[in-house]
């Protein structure tokens, strides 16, 4: 009987031990890992690496430096000590997650293993910070049973918690609460990653990035006011990328993105049946391009099938294509199925910080079927006649179907309210702006393309040579266009960190189909900025100053372009009438005596249509064409009857290099000479009866040629190629224009205007039909204020100058003040404006009385520390917002970088 209590005791003990075992095994929540705490809404997660050298390279890269400046406390902030502590403990097993915190901001959460060493070092740091009496506020509160600690300084708060063996911290307190909610939940970032988490990882790199491509769209929206395109919103599911800095110190991410044809909700699924394709379109991409998206298509039929699976919910596009097939007898699906090669979209910088797109269709099967289909659509849809224009060796036509390229290739292609197309070999080019398409074709003819650029090819060789989806970004050129659409917070950030941001050069994001995933490459090159931290500088900017002294005073100077190496040279005429060519290093390459002073401008021509440039200029009674070696091109020099020359300009009607030389005399006589200097019929001369206020120029508008000449008294003449005055002209503006005129190009003849500024302060726009479109009064502070228009050299845009007794003001065309100077005031001034794209625009103001020049950037910032003593100044851009300044005074020509 005594054994019963013992048995009961043993039974109870076993029961308790078994219960605890069952509880501990099945009911008790295990200690969380860092991955269990990452919220589902996370954009990406960075996982630490055991490679200390790799992590150190990453930490000192420009990309991390940009992120540091964008989000983390500045160097002068006391909480920077906390930042340095956290970043210094990102070791293997640590995570950093990226989150959206506001509509225009993001921040990070840091997950660090909570070792006794970490606890000790953090508490020691806290003790040091507490010594900042009154500046540090240490507090804590409870959330869902977990204590949150906060350290506040000024307007920054650092929050942290400890969950079992993980120390979690952030500079955004709300994110700590998200972590706690995730801790109490069964869902987290890892559970949403799917199979991507199981992919193999490289150990000898700077860490791993796990990216939720769907959430990435939300992060992308923080920066811009624009709604992300369907391409961005539905691109793919997730990606695992290794982080490293390569041998060239470029930032590189390599890994895999997941998707499959069974998920047609993602755009990557459209390429699930394709094999990677080489980037052959680089031979056509202009060096002026901002971005270029390339889509490699090896099998047009399967691509069409998969793309239609993605777009099946877009009933508008489906119904439109069916209607085109029925009514216009063009089967777009069949046409698209014949595509085998590349499809590319090029973004070019256009007027007013906007972009214009060029679509390139390059199929190995030839362009004939596509061109025949486009021509058929054009003929059926054109109201009167098919728009046709001969440009160099190209035939450009219009396809008057609203957003037709978008309808064929959506969502890979969007926009194209208007479409102008032409072909070259197997490639078809479609532009949404006629003039931009012409400039793009001109770049191809000049071989000013990525495929012919040593620097661009060097970068492209470091990327995937074959891919299915690639986006190439010309980063230095992108900032200027992006700035206009950014949220105010990020617009300010770009303005404050231009030098750092412009150290980033070409970038690429690429996806190459491989089995059931996509090999992914992201790479960004960078160049050392002056005073920067990059280890490998490229093409350093010379700081040498060159002074060339002539035997006589410099009378005229013109900056010209060398066709040999694209460098900027100077053509100088001194007071003895001698013309000299000066290299960028200040060396006189040759000297040529001429018979008189140069009248008007020096203009460059490709006389032999071989890519080599010559110089055209006029002196009293003489036309000159001189090659780069200082030798005359036959039959020049040519004698002409006009001796009192005021302006000269070049006419190249169809960009065929069959030049015409347009010469304007001070009496209002217009002369036109052919390429050999022969005076043409109708221009022997064409007398307008009075002096012109600006040079006469040729414009081709929707395939028709116009010669525009405006007299000082405000009478406008528009003439055809034969010198005949067009209907509606002469037009009396009832104002005396000043400065120059500007062509405001529209999508049609009806919304194309010429703009002049009258001396007494009116902005007048008139049409090609000889009608006044508008007359706008400009604001003046004094009765005697005088105005003028300063046109950008290539008609990109214009400035308005108001000169008053005590102040000179320069406005942009939206009447925003750019330059205000009380020093120049009512002096006689020469103002020049050049816009080189990519945010590189410059305004130079020369006070001819004081012989002082002032140089400003396009935002009105004074570039030089003091005025330049000169009676001539010109500016050309260099890297990293540096400029090369050419100036002349007396017998000296000075070339100096600033």
CA quadruple 391, 393, 399, 405: dihedral positive or negative?
A: negative
Nearest of 756, 671, 682 to residue 713 by alpha carbon: 756
Alpha-carbon distance values, 393 to 215, 441, 598, 646, 654 (Å)? 47, 10, 34, 34, 9
Question: Is 412 part of any domain?
Answer: yes
The residue-averaged pLDDT of 89-94 equals: 84
Sheet bearing 753-758, strands edge to edge = 737-744, 753-758, 762-766, 772-777
Which domain does 130 fall in, by range?
Answer: 27-214
* Cβ pair 193, 238 in contact under 8 A: yes
Cα angle 367-370-373, degrees, rounded to a multiple of 5: 145
Identify whether residues 367 and 271 lie together within a single domain: yes
Q: Of 639, 664, 691, which one is at a domain's C-terminal end?
A: 639
pLDDT in tens, 105-122: 889 999 998 888 888 888
pLDDT value, residue 746:
86
Strands (E), 641-711: 645-651, 660-665, 669-673, 686-687, 697-701, 704-710
Residues in the chain: 898
pLDDT value, residue 10:
65
Identify whether residues 63 and 99 lie together within a single domain: yes
pLDDT value, residue 120:
87
Name residue 820's beta-bridge partners.
809
Q: Residue 678, exposed/middle/buried by CB under 10 A (0-12, 13-18, 19+)?
A: exposed
Banded pLDDT at 465 (limits 50, 70, 90):
very high
Identify whether residues 789 and 824 lie together within a single domain: yes
Nearest of 477, 516, 593 to residue 879 by alpha carbon: 477
pLDDT value, residue 226:
75
- Torsion over CA of 207, 211, 217 and 223, rounded to 10 degrees? -10
pLDDT value, residue 736:
97
pLDDT value, residue 602:
97
Residue 256 has pLDDT above 50, yes or no: yes
Identify whether residues 271 and 359 lie together within a single domain: yes
Alpha-carbon distance values, 346 to 358, 407, 509, 665 (Å)? 5, 18, 15, 43
| Least confident stretch, 336-345, 409-418, 496-505 | 496-505
Angle between helices 475-483 and 488-496 (to 10 degrees): 140
Q: How many CB atoms neighbour CB 755 within 10 A?
A: 22
Q: Using the structure block, give the residue that is written with the tokens 């050999």.
A: 676
pLDDT in tens, 189-230: 888 776 776 666 666 677 889 998 888 877 878 888 777 777
Between CA 791 and CA 744 the distance in angstroms is 11
Which residues have C-beta within 8 Å of that of residue 544, sequence separation ≥ 6?
585, 897
Indicate the pairing of strand 95-102 with strand 105-113: antiparallel
Per-residue b/e over 56-73, b at no fewer than 16 CB within 10 Å? ebbeebbbbbbeeeebbb
The residue-averaged pLDDT of 258-286 equals: 84
Between CA 128 and CA 557 the distance in angstroms is 65
Nearest of 414, 403, 42 to residue 226 by alpha carbon: 414
552: three-class secondary structure by DSSP? coil
Report the 3 state secondary structure along 693-738: CCCCEEEEECCEEEEEEEECCCEEEEECCCCCECCCCCEECCCCEE
pLDDT value, residue 535:
35
Q: Of 590, 605, 639, which one is at a domain's C-terminal end?
A: 639
Question: Is 432 part of any domain?
Answer: yes
pLDDT in tens, 780-795: 999 989 999 999 988 8
Q: How far is CA 507 from the centre of its chain?
A: 12
Between CA 652 and CA 104 the distance in angstroms is 49
233: three-class secondary structure by DSSP? helix
Nearest of 310, 335, 309 to residue 321 by alpha carbon: 335
The residue-averaged pLDDT of 350-368 equals: 87
Between CA 898 and CA 503 the distance in angstroms is 18
pLDDT in tens, 547-588: 999 999 999 999 999 999 889 999 999 999 999 999 999 999
* Cβ pair 649, 695 in contact under 8 A: yes
Between CA 114 and CA 830 the distance in angstroms is 68
DSSP 813: T
Between CA 115 and CA 134 the distance in angstroms is 31
Count of domains for the chain:
4
pLDDT value, residue 787:
96
Question: Is 105 part of any domain?
Answer: yes
Q: 231 or 637, which is more confident? A: 637
Cα angle 296-301-306, degrees, rounded to a multiple of 5: 75
pLDDT value, residue 437:
95
CA atoms within 13 A on the CB side of 298: 14
Per-residue b/e over 820-840, b at no fewer than 16 CB within 10 Å? ebeebebbebebbbbbbbbbb
pLDDT value, residue 541:
45
Identify whether residues 314 and 387 lie together within a single domain: yes
Question: In this structure, what token pair is assigned to residue 377?
Answer: 């659509």
Identify whether residues 164 and 283 lie together within a single domain: no
Question: In this structure, what token pair is assigned to residue 103?
Answer: 């509509």
Question: Is 734 part of any domain?
Answer: no
pLDDT value, residue 529:
55
Angle between helices 116-129 and 80-87 (to 10 degrees): 170
Between CA 34 and CA 167 the distance in angstroms is 9
Identify whether residues 292 and 185 lie together within a single domain: no
Identify whether residues 475 and 391 lie together within a single domain: yes
* Cβ pair 451, 444 in contact under 8 A: no
pLDDT value, residue 538:
38
Q: How many CB atoms neighbour CB 389 within 10 A?
A: 18
Residue 125 phi/psi, 5° resolution?
A: -65, -40
468: three-class secondary structure by DSSP? coil
Banded pLDDT at 825 (limits 50, 70, 90):
low
pLDDT in tens, 523-536: 998 876 554 443 33
pLDDT value, residue 160:
92
Question: Is 289 part of any domain?
Answer: yes
The residue-averaged pLDDT of 7-22 equals: 59
| Least confident stretch, 81-90, 686-695, 813-822, 829-838 | 81-90
pLDDT in tens, 370-408: 998 888 888 888 777 778 899 999 999 999 888 899 988
286: three-class secondary structure by DSSP? strand
Sheet bearing 704-710, strands edge to edge = 697-701, 704-710, 715-719, 731-732
| Average pLDDT taken over every residue of the chain | 87
pLDDT value, residue 336:
84
Q: 51 or 165, which is more confident? A: 165
Between CA 317 and CA 402 the distance in angstroms is 12
Identify whether residues 557 and 598 lie together within a single domain: yes
Identify whether residues 182 and 42 lie together within a single domain: yes
Q: Please report which residue ranges of 92-187 form alpha helices under DSSP H.
A: 116-129, 173-183
pLDDT value, residue 111:
94
The residue-averaged pLDDT of 69-84 equals: 69
Question: Is 414 part of any domain?
Answer: yes
Task: Give me the CATH number covering residue 611.
Answer: 2.40.10
Question: Is 515 part of any domain?
Answer: yes
Q: Is 714 left (phi over 0), alpha (psi -120 to 50) or beta?
A: left
Strands (E), 606-677: 614-619, 622-626, 638-639, 645-651, 660-665, 669-673
Provide, rounded to the nearest whole percent, the portion of the chain with pLDDT above 70: 91
Residue 332 phi/psi, 5° resolution?
A: -65, -35
Identify whether residues 108 and 185 lie together within a single domain: yes
Q: Using the structure block, give the residue that is written with the tokens 């009512």.
A: 826
Nearest of 452, 479, 464 to residue 294 by alpha carbon: 464
Identify whether residues 276 and 418 lie together within a single domain: yes
Question: Is 230 part of any domain?
Answer: no
Q: How many CB atoms neighbour CB 314 within 10 A?
A: 15
| Least confident stretch, 499-503, 523-527, 589-593 | 499-503
Say whether pTM exceeds 0.85: yes
pLDDT in tens, 713-769: 999 999 999 999 999 999 999 999 999 999 998 888 889 999 999 999 999 999 999
pLDDT value, residue 53:
78
Q: Using the structure block, give the residue that is written with the tokens 């009933």.
A: 315
* Cβ pair 898, 880 in contact under 8 A: no
Between CA 833 and CA 584 the distance in angstroms is 21
680: three-class secondary structure by DSSP? coil
Residue 422 phi/psi, 5° resolution?
A: -160, 180
Q: Of 639, 665, 686, which one is at a domain's C-terminal end?
A: 639
pLDDT in tens, 294-325: 999 999 999 988 888 888 776 777 777 777 77
DSSP 43: S
Number of H helices, E strands in the chain: 19, 54
């Amino acid at each position: 009987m005594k054994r019963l209590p013992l048995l009961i005791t043993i039974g109870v003990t076993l029961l308790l031990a078994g219960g605890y075992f069952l509880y501990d095994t099945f009911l008790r929540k295990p200690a969380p890992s860092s991955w269990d705490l990452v919220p589902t809404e996370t954009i990406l997660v960075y996982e630490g690496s055991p490679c200390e050298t790799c992590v150190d390279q990453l930490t000192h890269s420009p990309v991390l430096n940009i992120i540091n400046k964008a989000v983390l406390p500045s160097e002068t902030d006391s909480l920077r000590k906390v930042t340095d502590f956290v970043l210094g403990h990102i070791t293997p097993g640590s995570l950093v997650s990226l989150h959206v915190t506001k509509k225009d901001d993001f921040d990070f959460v840091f997950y660090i293993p909570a070792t006794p060493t970490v606890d000790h070092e953090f508490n020691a740091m806290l003790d040091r910070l507490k010594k900042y009496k009154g500046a540090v506020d240490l507090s804590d509160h409870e959330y869902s049973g977990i204590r949150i600690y906060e350290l506040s300084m000024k307007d920054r708060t650092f929050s942290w918690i400890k969950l079992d063996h993980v120390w979690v911290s952030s500079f955004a307190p709300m994110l700590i609460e998200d972590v706690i909610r995730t801790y109490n939940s069964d869902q987290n970032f890892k559970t949403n990653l799917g199979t991507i988490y199981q992919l193999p990882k490289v150990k000898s790199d700077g860490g791993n990035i796990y990216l939720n491509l769907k959430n990435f769209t939300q992060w992308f929206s923080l920066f811009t006011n624009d709604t992300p395109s369907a391409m961005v919103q539905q691109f793919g599911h997730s990606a695992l990328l290794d982080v490293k800095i390569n041998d060239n110190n470029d930032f590189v991410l390599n890994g895999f993105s997941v998707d499959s044809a069974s998920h047609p909700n993602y755009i990557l699924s459209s390429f699930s049946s394709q094999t990677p394709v080489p980037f052959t379109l680089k031979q056509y991409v202009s060096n002026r391009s901002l971005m270029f998206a390339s889509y490699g298509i090896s099998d047009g039929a399967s691509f069409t099938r998969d793309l239609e699976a993605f777009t099946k919910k877009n009933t508008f596009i489906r119904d439109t294509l069916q209607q085109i097939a029925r009514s216009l007898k063009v089967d777009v699906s069949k046409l698209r199925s014949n595509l085998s090669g590349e499809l590319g979209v090029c973004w070019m910088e256009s007027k007013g910080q906007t972009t214009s797109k060029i679509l390139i269709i390059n199929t190995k099967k030839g362009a004939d079927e596509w061109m025949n289909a486009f021509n058929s659509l054009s003929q059926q849809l054109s109201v009167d006649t098919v728009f046709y224009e001969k440009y160099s060796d190209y035939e450009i036509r219009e396809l008057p179907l609203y957003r037709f390229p978008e309808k064929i290739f959506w969502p890979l292609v969007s926009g194209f309210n208007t479409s102008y197309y032409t072909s070259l070999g197997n490639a078809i080019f479609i532009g949404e702006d006629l003039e931009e398409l012409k400039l793009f074709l001109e770049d191809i003819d000049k071989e000013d393309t990525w495929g012919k650029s040593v620097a661009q090819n060097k970068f492209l060789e470091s990327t995937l040579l074959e891919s299915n989806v690639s986006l190439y970004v010309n980063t230095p050129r992108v900032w200027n266009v992006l700035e206009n659409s950014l949220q105010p917070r990020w617009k300010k950030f770009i303005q404050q960190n231009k030098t750092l941001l412009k150290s980033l050069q070409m970038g690429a994001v690429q996806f190459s189909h491989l089995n059931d995933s996509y090999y992914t490459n992201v790479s960004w090159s960078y160049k050392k900025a002056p005073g920067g931290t990059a280890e490998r500088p490229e093409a350093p900017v010379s700081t040498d100053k060159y002074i060339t002294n002539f035997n006589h005073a410099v009378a005229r100077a013109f900056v010209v372009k060398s066709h040999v190496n694209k460098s900027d040279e100077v053509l100088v005429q001194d007071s003895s009438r001698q013309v000299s060519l000066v290299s960028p290093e200040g060396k006189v390459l040759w000297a040529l005596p001429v018979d008189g002073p140069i009248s008007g401008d020096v203009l460059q021509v490709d006389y032999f249509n071989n890519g080599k440039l010559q110089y055209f200029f006029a002196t009293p009674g003489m036309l000159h064409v001189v090659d780069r070696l200082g030798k005359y091109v036959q039959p020049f020099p040519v004698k002409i009857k006009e001796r009192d020359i005021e302006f000269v300009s070049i006419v190249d009607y169809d960009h065929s290099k069959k030049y015409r030389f347009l010469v304007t005399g001070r009496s209002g006589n217009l002369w036109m000479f052919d390429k050999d200097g022969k005076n043409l019929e109708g221009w022997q001369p064409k007398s307008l009866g009075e002096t012109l206020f600006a040079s006469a120029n040729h414009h081709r508008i929707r395939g028709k040629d116009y010669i525009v000449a405006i007299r000082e008294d405000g009478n406008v003449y528009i003439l055809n190629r034969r010198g005949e005055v067009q209907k509606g002209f002469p037009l009396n503006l009832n104002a005396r224009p000043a400065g120059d005129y500007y062509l405001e190009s529209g999508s049609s003849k009806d919304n194309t205007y010429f703009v002049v500024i009258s001396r007494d302060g009116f902005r007048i726009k008139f049409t090609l039909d000889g009608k006044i479109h508008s007359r706008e009064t400009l604001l003046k502070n004094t009765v005697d204020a005088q105005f003028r228009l300063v046109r950008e050299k290539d008609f990109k845009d214009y400035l308005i100058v108001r000169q008053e007794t005590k102040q000179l003001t320069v406005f942009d065309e939206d009447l925003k003040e750019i330059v205000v100077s009380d020093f120049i005031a009512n002096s006689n001034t020469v103002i020049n404006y050049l816009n080189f794209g990519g945010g590189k625009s410059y305004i130079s103001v020369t006070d001819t009385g004081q012989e002082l020049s002032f140089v400003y950037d396009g935002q009105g910032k004074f570039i030089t520390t003091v005025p330049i003593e000169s009676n001539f100044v010109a500016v050309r851009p260099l890297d990293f917002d540096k400029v090369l300044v050419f100036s002349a005074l007396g017998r000296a020509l000075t070339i100096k970088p600033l």
